[in-house]
Chain A
Amino acid sequence: DAGVIQSPRHEVTEMGQEVTLRCKPISGHNSLFWYRQTMMRGLELLIYFNNNVPIDDSGMPEDRFSAKMPNASFSTLKIQPSEPRDSAVYFCASSPPRGGTNEKLFFGSGTQLSVL
């Protein structure tokens, strides 16, 4: 299994531009999580989905952030317009249906976002 796949690995953009981060969860997993990591704030949960439905988006910073999961094998996190304070590493994680191993989250390698 290829694991959770995130793209791009690195993104450099200018303030005001739209940024789209992509995530392909592990096949068969039905929960997907988006996290953001900075030195100041550590790892923060932004939003998570169960069976493609957003369950908790209380961590999404503001209306500039949106996340979608159109099907079980793909999710996007969009920032529009981007700002320098959005610079961070964004991680996607997935977990399998409940049944012993549900508690494990499997993380991707992250997207390093720099907004200039």
Chain B
Amino acid sequence: DAKTTQPTSMDCAEGRAANLPCNHSTISGNEYVYWYRQIHSQGPQYIIHGLKNNETNEMASLIITEDRKSSTLILPHATLRDTAVYYCIVRVASAGTASKLTFGTGTRLQVTL
């Protein structure tokens, strides 16, 4: 699976949009971009994933550049509960059953008042 590069940490004011970047310049055509987050002392939580189109769900939006070499996770109105480590993962979606998910070091997002 392709490697990803994320900033170590970021701050965001509550109520503002949090934009978390991720570089995956070696991504292959059949690899998806996934985002998970881990709130302190909990297991990781799935947020969103995409292949090449932008995606939106109730938690966040995912913007993938046209060349697919980078992406941005957007939390439109960050709250204190969004303080967590955010992981960007590139992964081949294999046919049939699950393939492994490899976590990097992620971005520690601190949402402040």
Do these two chains interact?
yes
B43:A107 contact, CB within 8 angstroms:
yes
Residues of B in contact (CB 8 Å), total: 23
- In the complex, chain A residues 66-107 whose Cβ is within 8 Å of any chain B Cβ: 91, 93, 95, 97-98, 102-107
Nearest A residue to B44, CB-CB: A107
- In the complex, chain A residues 15-44 whose Cβ is within 8 Å of any chain B Cβ: 30-31, 33, 35, 42-44
Residues of A in contact (CB 8 Å), total: 28
Q: Which residues of B contact A (CB under 8 A)?
A: 32, 34, 36, 38, 42-46, 49, 87, 91, 93, 95-98, 100-105
13 additional A-B pairs beyond A48-B98, A107-B42, beta carbons within 8 Å, are A43-B44, A43-B103, A45-B103, A55-B100, A93-B43, A95-B98, A98-B96, A98-B97, A102-B93, A103-B34, A103-B98, A107-B43, A107-B44
